[in-house]
A and B are shown apart, each in its own frame.
Chain A
């Protein structure tokens, strides 16, 4: 079993819809949780990170973490065609000397105009 599981999609939704992207994990030692966005033929870029359970909002994006269920989500409101990309969840234990990120395989999202 992989430490981080993510549905690869692809996921297609109409413009303006709310998008929900999810990951589950098995290692309870993970403390930092991130979402990266990767456009085609580009490197991943950090969208959001959080280290506590609950919600964190940034504009149209909301990251949600439920440590008890080992489940994280990213919600995109009022989705735009420019949101079409692959979204990767990532997690880190963040002990001293262990700054490794473990990534999900990514969900490919397409927003249809």
Chain B
């Protein structure tokens, strides 16, 4: 299996622009997680899905952030409008069991 696939790997944008991050989980995994990692705050869970249904979005920082999972093989995280403080590495992870999450390579986002 190719593992969790994320795109783009790097994104540089200007403040106010819309940013869309994409994730393809490992086939057969029921859970999908979106994380954000910064030096100051470490790795934070933003939202997670079970069988394509959002279960907990309490980590989504503001209404500017939204996530969707239209099918079992695809999810998006959208930031609109983006702000410099959104600059971070965004990880997608998937799992089929509670305790074993497989992370993707991450998307490095820089908002100027």
User: In the complex, which residue of chain A has the Cβ closest to the Cβ of B33?
Assistant: A101
Given A99-B31, A100-B56, is A45 in contact with B103 using a C-beta cutoff of 8 Å?
yes
Q: Are B42 and A97 in contact (CB under 8 A)?
A: no
Q: Is B99 part of the binding interface, using a Cβ–Cβ cutoff of 8 Å?
A: yes
Minimum CB distance partner of B3 in chain A: A43
Chain A interface residue count, Cβ-Cβ cutoff 8 angstroms = 23
Q: In the bound complex, how far is the Cα of B103 from the Cα of A88, in angstroms? A: 13
Give the contacting residue for A42; candidates B42, B45, B105; CB below 8 A.
Answer: B105
Number of interface residues of B (CB under 8 A): 24
CB within 8 Å for A43 and B43 given contacts A32-B98, A92-B98, A100-B56? no
Which A residues touch B43, using CB under 8 A? 44, 88, 103, 105-106
Partner of B99, one of A45, A49, A97, A98: A49
When distances are taken between beta carbons in the complex, the residues of chain B under 8 Å from A41 are 106
Q: Give A65-113 interface residues, CB cut-off 8 Å to B.
A: 88, 92, 94, 97-106
Asked, given contacts A43-B106, A44-B43, A106-B42, whether A49 binds B48 with beta carbons under 8 Å apart, the answer is no
Which residues of B sit under 8 angstroms from A104, Cβ to Cβ?
42
Contact A103 to B100, CB < 8 A, known contacts A43-B105, A97-B55: no
Q: Is A17 an interface residue (CB 8 A)?
A: no
* Interface members, chain B 54-112 (any A CB < 8 Å): 55-56, 91, 93, 95, 98-106
Contacts of A46 in B (CB 8 A): 100-102
Interface: A63 (CB within 8 A): no
Contacts of A42 in B (CB 8 A): 105-106
Known interface pairs A43-B106, A44-B103, A46-B100; 11 further A-B residue pairs with C-beta atoms within 8 A, sorted by A's residue number:
A34-B99, A42-B105, A42-B106, A43-B103, A46-B102, A49-B99, A88-B43, A97-B55, A99-B55, A100-B45, A106-B42
B contact set with A: CB distance below 8 Å: 4, 31, 33, 41-45, 48, 50, 55-56, 91, 93, 95, 98-106
Q: Report 13 cross-chain contacts, Cβ distance below 8 Å, ordered by A residue.
A: A34-B99, A42-B106, A43-B91, A43-B105, A43-B106, A44-B43, A44-B91, A49-B99, A99-B50, A101-B101, A102-B45, A103-B43, A106-B43
